[in-house]
Chain A
Amino acid sequence: MTIIDTLAKNRGELENKLRNMLAKPVFLIEMDAFALPCGCKGLTINSRGLQFDDLEIFEEHINEYLRITSENLEVEPSFLFARLVPGTAEVASLNSRVLCNRCYLDFARGTGKQPRPDIYILNFSRRE
């Protein structure tokens, strides 16, 4: 299977899991694999219809679904987070990111789930 077929398959599977759990046709509008100049790499899954309440109530399940998707795409699920539209109920995207050293330090300094108003951390694996 090519990388784009793998992305397509996993986009659909994750979308179906979210729809079954949340009982609404959540729409994963785009799934991208990326590599940034700083060294961060990972997945961005842009969502529509997913809301912050869904995350809070079903966090354990969404975390697990995102972990499986991430592993299927060979992205270590060390940092899983949702990007929010700040001050609103809207979840803009789900993300799995392998952090570069500099960005890791930015996130490692804090302890809460929302280091910035637009980020809600689902999983952060601290390095030794």
Chain B
Amino acid sequence: MKLYAPHVGHLEALEELLTGSKDIYGIYMAGTPDYVGTGRTNLSSPGLEEIAEQTARVHEENVKMEVVLNSSCMGGQHLTPEGYNRVNWYFTQLHNIGVDAVTVAEPYFIEMLSKDYGMEVVVSVLSFVDSPQKAEFYEQLGADTIVIDPVINRDFEKLEAIRDAVSCDLKLLVNEGCLYQCPFRYAHFNFFSHANGPGPKLNVLDDYYYYKCLSLRISDPQQLIKSPWIRPEDLKEYKHITDIFKIGGRTHFPNWILNNVQAYANESYDGNLMDLLDCPRDIRDLFYIPNKELDGAINQWKQCSKVCNKCGYCKKLAEKIIKVYTAEGCENILKPLKSKGGQ
């Protein structure tokens, strides 16, 4: 198994990751937002010197370095002569540094990278590759690896069709806790891309999409189960698709990342599944999902028709196993989730 781990971007955290686990095949981190930016939040914006230093350090441990530049919206800047020159210069510097792979979402960058720079070209989750046809398009553009849109993580027919359609590598993001068929997905990543990219910085009141994301789960906790995460125990079900897995979580402490690496490397986790999920970070102190009680659920999802209102499996499972942290004095206790209310 090739396991890619997230990294917040500074050397101190990198040392903790490298000394904390020998199961990491590759590290990925954001680049400098002045050139491309990324579609997710970041804790750091490492300059080229920092990327060079950290690339050299991971290579000492025979670990790959991947720089993520997966802005889902460039606002057309890359199509201007100045924009192209800026991005071209940046890609060249990354190549000179010895970066192994670059992850991008913009199709133009995939074609650009595949022609001139000699680095592995990785198609980001934020290119939303969810069908054999789309995978073929990206492979034709020059992709060496495609990170599949997690929305089809439980759709084995499509995963297998993509595997058959292309010869490039496939990578699966295992712990994204985003809503299944999230209506905010494109808008939210575009917002992040502008907030974390080269353009003018936005003065935003609230992250509307994140509020809605949490509200929908609080009102309807079955959404936690329907999110297309892959449990550590279920990795074996995917090994005919790929052996490359990516752990999400670039804004987490090394301790959290190492806990995930250990869980996925061991293909087992005895605890709260919410500990492993990247996206709904705030509500891991609200919900408790006993991971071991999800044993066997994959068998249902493998044959799932994705018509939730007729099936009801995830809803029943949520009611059966999810518990809610409830304050009692200054302590937190666990209470069962009922279909109405958290008490």
Contacts and interface: CB of A to CB of B under 8 A. Distances in A.
B87 to A, nearest CB: 34
Contacts of A88: 208, 211-212
Contacts of B326: 12, 16, 19
Contacts of B286: 25, 27
Chain A: interface size category: 20 to 34
B283 A24 contact: no
A24 B205 contact: no
Contacts of A92: 206, 211
Nearest to B280: A48
Contact of A86 (B205, B282, B328): B205
B167 interface: no
Contact of A27 (B208, B212, B283, B341): B283
Contact of B341 (A12, A20, A90, A118): A20
A9 B212 contact: no
B215 interface: yes
Q: Chain A interface mostly helix, strand, loop or mixed?
A: mixed
A9 B205 contact: no
Nearest to B328: A12
A95 to B, nearest CB: 14
A23 B206 contact: no
Interface string A82-94: 0001101110100
Nearest to A84: B206
Interface string B328-343: 1110000001001111
B214 interface: yes
Nearest to A49: B218
B330 A13 contact: no
A35 interface: no
A44 B219 CA distance: 23
A12 B327 contact: yes
A26 interface: yes
A51 interface: yes
A118 B329 contact: no
B212 A24 contact: no
A51 B220 CA distance: 14
A27 B274 CA distance: 16
Contact of A85 (B205, B221, B283, B342): B205
Interface of B: 205-206, 208, 211-212, 214-215, 218-219, 221, 282-283, 286-287, 324, 326-330, 337, 340-343
* Minimum-distance CB pairs A-B, first 7: A12-B327, A25-B342, A49-B218, A23-B341, A48-B214, A90-B211, A23-B340
